[in-house]
Structure formats: C-alpha cells, structure tokens
Structure 1
Amino acid sequence: MITASWAARCLGAVALLLALAPEAPAMATPVTATSGSAELGHMGRWLTDAEGRVITLHGVNLVYKTPPYYPAAGGFSDSDAQFLADNGFNVVRLGFTWSSAEPRPGVYDDDYIAQIEQTQQVLARHNIYALVDSHQDAFNELVGGTWNGFPDWAAFPDGLPIGPNLGLFIAYALGPAENRTWANFWSDHPASDGIGVQEHYAAMWSHVAQAFAGEPYVLGYDLINEPWPGATHPDCLLDGCPGFSSDGLAALQGKAMSAIRQADTQHLLFYEPFVTTDFGAPVRMPNPTGDPRAGMSFHDYCLGPIQTCPENGFDSTRAADTVGIVTEFGATDDRAILDRVTGRLDDNMASWMLWSKTQNQLPDHPQQPPTGPNLISPGIGIVRPYPQAVAGTPQGWKYDPDAATFSLRFDTVPVDPGRPLAGDALTEVFLPSSDFPNGYQVEVDGADVVSAPDAALLQLRATPGQHAVHLTVTGR
C-alpha cells in the first residue's frame, strides 16, 4: 500500500525529475544498560566506545514542526524514552529550529535551547544517544515551506513569488522565492545587522553547542538537515554537483564545524550532502574541515529497485575513512519497504534512524511521540535483532524474520590496532522478545555466553586465544 506520506516523497522525486528533464537526456523486555562509555568516537567507518568496541545504533527521529518546536510540548517524556530503550533503540535524532534558537539576528532564546537540552537529558537517563539536529524543510513558510525551521530574517526572496504549493519537493524545485532565498543563503547575504547569514548560522551553532558540550550520551551534531542547492538542482541530480558540494555546501558546514569546536571539542560532527542524494544522486560531499571527529549524515528515500542511496553514502564515507550514518529513511509503515531498507542497511553493518510517520506534519495526522502504536504498527519489523556492541571487528550480520534466525560474525582483533580492547569487553546483541516470543537457543564458536538465558541483551565474552566468533540465534 502506498501511504500518504510515502506518496508525498514519491511526488517530490517526480517533481525533481520533471525539473531535470529540459536539461537532461532522455514489544520487548527491558534491556540491561551496557557497560560502555557515554562518549563515542570513530575509527574509520566504525563508531567506537571507550573500550574500543564497535557500536551500532538503531533509533528514530524526534523533530517537532509545530510551535513551540520542542518535543516536551508534544508530550515526549520519560515513559516514551523508556519505551524506546526497551525496544532496542539507542539513539534519537533530536531536532531543533534555528528560527527558535535565534529569533532575531544575534539574539538567542536560551529557554528554548534548554527545552531541547532537557529532552536530551531524558534520553540520556535511558542510555539513549542524542544527535542534535538543525532541522529545516524548504527554508520556511515565507518562501513556500510548511513550517519555520529557518528564521524569516535569514530569508531573502527578493520579492519573487512562492510558486506552486503541491508538496515539499515541488516547492523546492519550482518555487522562485525558494530558489532565490537559497541562492542568497549560499552567497552569505547580509542580515539586517550587516553580518552574513552564514556567520549567524555558525555562531548560532556555537551557542547551541555550549549547552550540550558537557552532557553525556550526546552522539554529536547534525549540521543541517537536507540542504537544497537552489536552481542548480538538476546538475546535483545528475552528477552530485561536486564543485558546489566542495565549495558552497562545504564552506557553510565548515563554518559551523569550526564554530562548534570553539564550544565543544569532544562530540562528533556530522555533515550532510544535498537533499538530492536522498533519491540516489551521487554523493560528492567532502569532510568540510578534515576534522578527525567528523562523519556524514545522509538519507535513504530511494524508490523501488533503486539501490544507490545507501551505497553512494557509504562509498563516500569509506573513501574518506570516516563514519556514515543513515539518519532518515521510512516515512511509511509499508512492511515491504521497511524490510528492504533495513535489510540493506544490515548488509552494510550500518547505524540508522527511522523517520516515522508520527514525525510527519500532515493535516490529518498531528505529531505525536514516536512510541507505542505510533511507532510500531503490527507487523512492522523496525524492532529487530542487531549487535549493539562488538568486542572486535564485525564481519557481517543478518536477520531472517521468517526463520527467526539471527547470525553474527566478527574477528576478535580490535578496529583500532593501536588500542587493545579492554580485558572485560563484552559483545552485546539485542534480541527482542517480539521476534523470539518463546525464547531462543544459541550456537556460538569462539566465545562464551555470559548473560542469562533468553535475556533481551545477549552478552558474549570471547574465548582466550580465539580470533573469530560465529554466533547463530534461533527462536524456539
């Protein structure tokens, strides 16, 4: 079944292709807290904890697009965070709006930022990481967006009309005011105080980062959600616009990265490519500053048999020897789509964050916390087995829901050859009772099971002298 939210994404992709045409040829039991550190880093493509283990994250987006633009106002609370933790979700992409953080040029709303920080602290109490995300879609209502992610004072449409109001990506592709505003944003148009909008954006990020610099369970900062290239978008669809990605887009995010580092030297920084990559366009986004504690956030909304969304992103991050995380996919409760995407992400041994339908701002669907039946409809396989921590180097994992079988292979060699694993480092695999309602049986070579029978968090300790571990879990 094609849902309204997925249809909106499809319609957007069609609009982009039409714009291109003239220029182109033809319920689980509670999980015991892990023993790892609340701070994460990365070694090449892998997220790592203080013990040297490889960490994998499964999570959701938490972005409220109606005033006052923070999750607590929409009802998100400790019970929702507990639900997420109980179902194996260990990360949340926590959105905030520039329009609320800096309502006037150079004036910050610390009460608003404190609301976002408060939700991050709720998540941290349940050992859930937060990726703090500056979120926008189509800039703001002044130029054709459906909500005000970015502030009016940063929008300069030069008197051009909004254009057709037929969905997010039609607004992007065909809106004169939209595209002129982004062109002025990329050229660093001065705000009313004479300071460029990009300088304001970077300074805003530094101010926001001050609130999170000392907080545990902060994964890092997602620098900008789905940036739009403006009128050059057909080129970005064709070849990823490497020049613009390396210059204009990297320059903006580089300013934000440098500004954040003045306030927070520890947490990871995640840059994003243009939104055109969401549908399979090439990813040409470099690490803007070469920061060794940086990675890339990218999205997967490829349609039908198109496979390039995750592959392009992971090819880019592996070439840069950095970590990549899929921070959006879904926007549907279609089981076939979700199974296809999550299976492909498993094949890439990837961390991901679902965009649930509850986060869509639709007239017939007010936003609700992404928990309970709002998140997990019957038969939707988002809650799934996966290795949350591997004491070694993962070689692959796979889950077969029809056979209720999960398998994992890893080497006991650490991903960082210069840092041996902690002596008591455990491999921890989340096994939801929804997939194993009658319990499970374990076959393992190269390690011993140290958790209780049928525990939701299966824990393994490698056998001394063993160099490889092979685990198979089967439902009873």
Structure 2
Amino acid sequence: MWSIFILTFLIWTSVQTKQIPLSKIHLNSDGLFTDSRGFIKLFRGFNNVHKHFPWYNVNSTNITQLEMFKNWGLNVVRLGVMWSGVKPTISIVNTTYLDVIENVIDLYADYGIYVILDMHQDVLSSLYGLYDGIPLWLIEKFKRPPHHLQYPWPYKKKPDFWVMSYLTYECANGAQQLYNNVSGAWNHWGEFWEIVARRFGGKSNVLGYELINEPPPGNFYTNPLRGLPGYAGRYNLQPVYDYLVKRIRKYDNSTLIFYEPVTYGVFTPVRSSGWLGTGFDRVPGAHRDKSAPSKSVLSYHYYCWILQTDAQNTTMPFWKKVICDRLLLPNVISNAIRATKSTGGGRFLTEFGLCGDDGNPRSVNTIECNNILNEADKHFESWTYWDSNLLDLSGNPIVTEVKSFIRPYPHSIRGVFRKQQFDHKTGDFHLSFIANTTKEQNNEKQTLIAEIYIPRSVHYPNGFSMSVKPDNLSTKMNENMMYVYLPSGVSNASVFVRIEIVRKSIE
C-alpha cells in the first residue's frame, strides 16, 4: 500500500515540477540575450563549482534546494565542468563524471534553470598551491624552471592568500607554456571542449561554454609586457581562444561562447593601443566566422581588491566605499560595456561576491554586495553570484542574503530596457521599458509584452500594490510571475511602459 502511495506521489511531483522545455538562447544585434519568441531575457543566479574530487557538488541534485531556487526566480547556474573530472588521465574520458554532470544539467532544466558550463581553474595546478584546474598530467609535461625559480619563488613559503600564487614564477611560466602550446596543450584543451560540446550542445538549457575561468596573463617575468592585460589578451589569450572556438564549432555551432579577459583587464580603460583593457579587438573566432559576435559573450568579474583581506562583518570605512563603489564598480561595468561595443557580442557578470547582507547596514558584507546588485540593476546586467547559493551549511536560507539578492526583475520583455531600480529595505520597485510589437501581434486579442518576476514570499508577504502605465495594459499573476499584456488595436508599434510596485504593510 505504502509503495503505491509513494510511487503515485513521485509521479505527481515529477509532473508538477516538469517545465515547458526551455528555448535555446541567442544574442540579438545589440548583444542582448534573446529567446525563441524574440523576448529579451535577464539572468540571475549563482556559481556551482567544486574544486576537488569528485569535481561536482553532491547537493546539486537536492530537490528541496531546487524548489527554493525556482521560487526565488533564479534562472541560471555557472556550473563547473572540470577538466580533471572529464580527463583524469591523458587517455581516459570519465563517462561516469559526464553522466553526473548531465543529470545535473537536466535537473536544472526541469526547474527552469539555464547553465553556463565553466572550465574552472585557479592558479592552474596543485603543483602551484591549490587544485588541478588544469590536469596534473598536462602540467607535468611542461618543462620546470631551474630549481631556484620553482614554486613558491619569489616567496620563501606557500603564500597564505592563494591568489598570490599567481605571482610565483612557476605558475606564470606554466600559464605561458599553456598559451605557447607546449606538449600539445592546445590539442588536449580542445579535446576537452569537443567532449563537452558533443555531449551537452544539444541541450536547450546550456546557455554557454566558458573557455577558462580567470586566465592568468602568462610569464611576465620573461616579458613584463605580459603583465599588461591588453597585451596578454591580444597575444596570449586570443590565439588559443580562436583555436578552442574552432574545436567547439565542429560539433556545436549555436551555443554561446563565454570568454574572459585577464581578470583585471576590465579594471583598466579600453585603449586602441591594446596594452590596457581586455586586449580583444574582436570576439574569438570572428576572423573565420562573421556571425561569431552573435554567439559570443564577454564574461567578466568584479571584486574590490582592497576589501579582500578585510573581515567582511566589520564596518566599511568611508574611503573604501568611495574607491570600491563610486570609482571601481561603475568603471568596471562601463569598461565591459565599451569593450563589447567595440567587438560586438554580449556580456555577463559571471562572478562577484564573497559578501552578502548580514543585517548590519554598515558592514562590508552588506554595503558591498547591495551596491553591486544595484549597479547591475541599473545597467540590466545578467549575473551569477560567487561563492554561495544563499543557504547555510545546513541547507537553510540565509534570510538577510535572500532579501538582498532575491529581488523583482524583468525576466523577459518584448522591447528595450530603460530603467530598473529596487530598494530591498522598502520593497519599492520601478521598471520602465519600451515595448515593441508588430502589426500581426497588434491584431491579436492581447499581446504578451513582459514577464516580471516578483518574489512575493520574500518581499511582499502581505501583498503589494502596483501602478502599470499606460492604463490600457492588463496584468495576470501566476505564482511569482506577473504577465503584462498589451490590448489589441494599439496603433503604436512602440509603447513606453512603466511599472511601480510597493509593499503593503500589515493592516
């Protein structure tokens, strides 16, 4: 009897959670993410990267957590697909690992979540102090420097702060050998991406392939110019990126390519000299494929470096607020915008964080992450948060973080963004956009022009009041999604839409 009940419950649950298949995402001529209906989409999500064996997070398939993510409007995960997981040795493809990753991707699809498949690394190798983002079997094929230059030189011991390992001679030299195709490194790297593209390219919720996380600049000891992000981007990254795109496109010609500059490239202004900025004068593969800009996304990260050694729950000094939030943050996003205007293609803030609202309005945690979220809203940036999925170690929601990160946003619109603003303290939300319709759509009874995510349980437990202009628009709520419709017979092809939402207090 109980077995029949449980089986019935599982079947019912499967039916309830099954999504309408997600459409493959493309870029429009403005570099904006677009679905098969022609709607512009924004993405909100987090990183899911496991940096040690078994190279995946065992909680990725936790149904309770997936239900929470769906309820919170999270629609993308930057998922680590680790090279050492796919190719544990030079001759073995770990199909068991690929099966696990496929199961995770498919489960995410069931909950309306897209994935960016991220070949993650930090300081390349366990030989240089961390983990094997680049497989150890490849690193061991590289020629080691003379003993006195080996890791951790120029330090006397392994650095306490892992990122400082990027400054060691051997890590820089290892990166340069990777870029110089020593020991057939490109072929092995390309093989990894062919395996991934063949296996997952047909899945509609695979948003993109991220070629490598936070690529180091190369050996700046032997050539100091490589320390300049634009120089490293042009002469070290662009050639190998072109090669990797060619390998991927043999099996998948449509999934978006996410490519990163040297991390600090977006912290410097774009210059025609190519020594600063990203260094990319075109997107990867564009020299062969003129359509490459419509399939390429600049992936960039923002961390305010002067905060990285601070205790995140301490009061944030005013001078650091000025540097981080008035100077660096707006300039990084502006530089990313300028870079993609030059090359074409889209952009995506794939990492930021190491912070989260802790309830103290003056703490580094609270101020830094809220400012980043507000600036991203201002520019309609899609983002994936690092290093949390808003849950504590027991899997329970961190309430202050949820209230900060989970906010209303235009999930999909038929038109052009104009303004977006949200106050997570009051719940006030303002959105404006220009809705574009065709004559055929105007002849319909009503035309869907927007899908607005509204976190009712998080910010509006007692309901909300709203103003939608012009007055002839109609709305319909379904769980946390508000659908906005334009009536038939509208003569204007473009309609300026304004939506304001205000939290209701307890009566």
Q: Do they superpose with TM above 0.5?
A: yes
Tell me by how many angstroms 1:321 deviates: 2.8
Aligned to 1:189: 182
| TM-superposition CA deviations, 1:317-350 (whole Å, max 9, x none) | 1332311000000012211111100111111111
**Superposition deviation, residue 129 in structure 1:** 0.3
| Structure 2 match to 1:262 | 250
Matched residue type, 2:467: E
TM superposition shift of 1:202: 1.0
Pair 1:391-2:401 in alignment: no
Contact 1:462 1:469 in 2 (8 A): no
> Once the 2 structures are TM-superposed, how far is the Cα of residue 396 of structure 1 from its aligned partner?
1.7
Distance in structure 2 (CA, Å) of the matches to 1:248 and 1:319? 20
Counterpart residue identity of residue 90, structure 2: P
The answer for the alignment partner of 1:298 in structure 2 is: 300
| CA separation of 1:240 and 1:421: change in aligned 2, threshold 3 A | farther
Count residues with an aligned counterpart. 425
Which of these residues, 227, 240, 253, is aligned with residue 229 of structure 2?
A: 240
In the alignment, the residues of structure 2 paired with residue 98 and residue 422 of structure 1 have an alpha-carbon distance, to the nearest angstrom, of: 52
CA distance in 1 between counterparts of 2:200 and 2:106 reads 10
Q: Is the 8 A contact 2:66 2:111 kept in 1?
A: yes
User: How much has 1:244 moved relative to structure 2?
Assistant: 2.9
Counterparts of 2:418 and 2:21, CA distance in 1 = 21
Show the counterpart of 2:113: 128
1:340 aligns with 2:371: yes
Distance of aligned partners of 1:189 and 1:124 in 2 relative to their CA distance in 1, 3 Å threshold: same
Distance across 2 between alignment mates of 1:202 and 1:122: 27
Which is further off, 157-166 or 276-285? 276-285
Cα–Cα, structure 1 residues 368 and 235, in superposed 2: closer, same or farther, change >3 Å? farther
Matched, 1:410 2:403: no
Measure the CA separation in 1 of the matches of 2:104 and 2:111.
11
Q: Secondary structure at the match of 1:441?
A: strand
Look up the equivalent residue of 1:136 and give its one-letter code.
Q
What amino acid does structure 2 have at the position aligned with 1:469?
V
Residue aligning to 2:473: 448
Name the SS for the 1:450 alignment partner: strand
Corresponding residue for 2:387? 356
Match of 2:199 in 1: 211
In the alignment, the residues of structure 2 paired with residue 323 and residue 409 of structure 1 have an alpha-carbon distance, to the nearest angstrom, of: 21
164, 170, 173: which one aligns with 2:164: 170
Contact 2:435 2:449 in 1 (8 A): no
Given that residues 22 and 109 in structure 2 are in contact (C-alpha distance below 8 angstroms), is that contact kept between their aligned partners in structure 1?
Answer: no
Aligned partners of 2:109 and 2:205 also within 8 Å: yes
C-alpha contact (below 8 Å) 1:59/1:354 kept by paired residues:
yes
Instruction: Report deviation, 1:52.
Output: 0.7
1:75–1:368 Cα contact (<8 Å) kept: no
Amino acid at match of 2:74: F
Distance 1:49 1:198 in 2: 33
Deviation at 1:418, TM superposition (A): 13
Q: Are the aligned partners of 1:66 and 1:147 in contact in 2 as well (CA < 8 Å)?
A: yes
- Give the partner amino acid of 1:176: Y
Whole-Å separation in 2 of the counterparts to 1:420 and 1:114? 43
Distance (whole Å) between structure 2 residues aligned to residue 469 and residue 259 of structure 1: 44
Worse-superposed segment, 304-313 or 110-119: 304-313
Do the aligned partners of 2:448 and 2:483 also contact (CA within 8 Å) in 1? no
Please tell me whether residue 437 in structure 1 is matched to residue 461 in structure 2: yes
* Secondary structure at 2:491 match in 1: coil
Give the letter for the 1:56 counterpart. L
Whichever residue aligns with residue 105 of structure 2, its letter is Q
Structure 2, unmatched stretches of 5+, are 1-15, 153-157, 270-276, 287-291, 306-323, 357-364
Structure 2: how far apart are the matches of 1:273 and 1:426? 35
> Per-residue CA shift, 1:388-443, capped at 9, x if unaligned?
001111112111223321111111226xx999899643411111121122111111
Whose Rg is larger?
2
TM (normalized to structure 1)? Answer: 0.82
Aligned in 2, Cα 1:126/1:200: closer, same or farther, shift over 3 Å? same
Aligned residues with identical type, % of pairs:
23
The whole-number CA distance in structure 1 between the counterparts of 2:246 and 2:279 is: 21
Query: SS where residue 231 of structure 1 aligns?
Result: coil
Which structure is richer in relative contact order (CA contacts within 8 A, separation 6 or more)? Answer: 1
In structure 2, what residue type is equivalent to 1:336? Answer: I
Aligned to 1:26: none
Mean Cα displacement is larger for which, 306-315 or 287-296? 306-315
Query: Which one is further off, 220-229 or 210-219?
Result: 210-219
Q: Is the 8 A contact 1:278 1:302 kept in 2?
A: no
User: Helix, strand or coil: the match of 2:244?
Assistant: helix
Q: Distance in 1 between the 2:150 and 2:442 partners?
A: 59
Do 2:173 and 2:218's aligned partners in 1 also have CA atoms closer than 8 Å? yes
The answer to whether the aligner puts 1:315 opposite 2:315 as a matched pair is no
User: What TM-score do you get using the length of structure 2 for normalisation?
Assistant: 0.77
- 1:110–1:376 CA distance, 2 compared to 1 (3 A): farther
Q: Superposition pairs for residues 96-111 of structure 1, below 5 Å?
A: 96-111=81-96
Q: CA deviation at 1:213?
A: 1.6
Correspondence for 2:354: 331
- Distance, in Å, in 2 between the alignment partners of 1:40 and 1:246 is 28
Q: Which amino acid aligns with 1:187?
A: N
Amino acid at match of 1:260: I
| Greater mean deviation of Cα atoms: 246-255 or 332-341 | 246-255
Alignment CA distance shift 1:161-1:247 (3 Å): closer
Name the counterpart of 1:468: 496
Contact 1:390 1:427 in 2 (8 A): yes
